[in-house]
Amino acid sequence: MIELSWRARDNISLEMARIKKIPLGIVVISVIMFFVALATDIFWIAKLIGRSFPSTMPLEPEVYNAFAVPDILLSIFLYIGAYGLISLRKYGFMATLIAMGMWIFDSLLVLGITKLSRINIVGPCLFFALFTIFYLWWKKELFG
């Protein structure tokens, strides 16, 4: 059995104290953001290769396809934000706030188009985005 000297134990204790603990809320938000970005990318890649999912909104195809670029941009911000949040970096905080703002706008736009017929999809999205904004603002000191 290896015994550590007092000095080695103190160094290990100091090193462990320097490591920031990531709150569970940050981890959950990051995981959800990653999987939403992944699902968005899969949806639009499938549409691009001609194997699209059935339309979820009563829109003309040209209008429906106009959502592609904003959705891909949103997924980029979601990926950057998810990684940055787990790393407790300021860019993750900022990218997540931008992504949540975009997501709120997107959700409200869908809500306006569908007239509450898709509230079962839009409602949880709005709740998550608003919760994330308030939670991150509450934890903003973690991001230096």
The predicted-structure confidence for 117-131, as pLDDT tens digits, reads as follows 878 888 999 999 999
| Domain containing residue 131 | 23-143
- The verdict on residue 78 lying in a domain is yes
- What is the tally of structural domains in the chain? 1
What are the pLDDT digits (tens) for 94-123?
Answer: 999 999 999 999 999 888 888 888 788 889
Tokens 């100091």 correspond to 14
DSSP 4: -
d(CA 83, CA 44): 22
The dihedral through the CA atoms of 133, 94, 37, 117 has a sign that is positive
Q: Per the domain annotation, does 15 fall within a domain? A: no
pLDDT of residue 24: 95
Largest Cα span, the chain: 72
Q: Is 17 domain-assigned?
A: no
